[in-house]
Structure 1
Amino acid sequence: MVIESEPTVQNEAEIFGAVLKSARLKAGLTVEALAERVGVTDRYIYRLENNGKTPGYAVLCRLIRELAISPDLLFYPEKPSQDSEVDTLIRKLATCDERAIKVARATIQSLIDTAP
C-alpha cells in the first residue's frame, strides 16, 4: 500500500486493521480463536480490524508474534512488502521452544531428504 502523505492516526489505525485481518485470515483463524490466543475478547479483535481501534503495546506484541506479522507492514506501510513464506516461517520459529525447534528441524530435514 502506498501512502502519498504522512499517515494520520485514523489512517494508521485503518492500515493496522487491514493488516491484522489479512494476517488472521492467512493464518486460518477466526476472530474468536485469535482473541483466545492473545488473551483478549473477540469484540476487541473486531474493533481492531474494523473500527479504527489501536492496541496497546503488550497486545500489539502478542498479535505480531501470534500471526507472524512483519512489523514493517505496520510501521512502514509505504514501503513495498516482499514478505516471503520463508520470512514468515522464520518469525514463527523465533517464538518456538526448544522441543518445537527440534521437531521443525527434523521435519525440514525429512522433507529435504525425500525431495525428488
Structure 2
Amino acid sequence: MSKISGAESHIMEALWTRGPLTAEEIVQTVGPAQAWGEATVKTLINRLLKKKALASERTGGRAIYRPIVTQADYVTGESQGLLDRLFGGQIAPLVAHYARHRAVSPDELARLKALIAELETDDE
C-alpha cells in the first residue's frame, strides 16, 4: 500500500468514523473544516482509490466509498515511520524525548509503568 498523505488522512478519518459515505457526504464532512471544495475532495478520493486504501461500490446510481485500510494499520504504519525516521526504530528514545520535552502527568506515568509491567509479564 502506498503512503496515505496528510490531506488524504482526513478523508480516511471521516470513513473510519462514520462508515461508508458517498462523495457528497465526504465533501460535507471534511470540506468545510479544511476549506476544500468538491473537486479537491474528489481528487483525494481518486488518489485513495488508486492507492487501494478505499473501495467503491455503486448503490442506487451513486458511488459509496469505504475504507480498505484499517485505522489500526494506518496508525501502525505512521508510528513505525516516525520511529524509523526520528529514533532509529527504537521506542525508548521516543519516550525519553517526550518525557524531557513535555510534562508527564502522574496518570500518564502510571499508565507507562503498567504497560512496562505488562510487557515484562508477556516476555516470561
Q: Structure 1-normalised TM-score?
A: 0.30
Q: Structure 2-normalised TM-score?
A: 0.29
Structure with higher Rg: it is: 2
> Which structure shows the higher strand fraction?
2
- The higher-RCO structure (CA 8 Å, 6+ apart) is 1
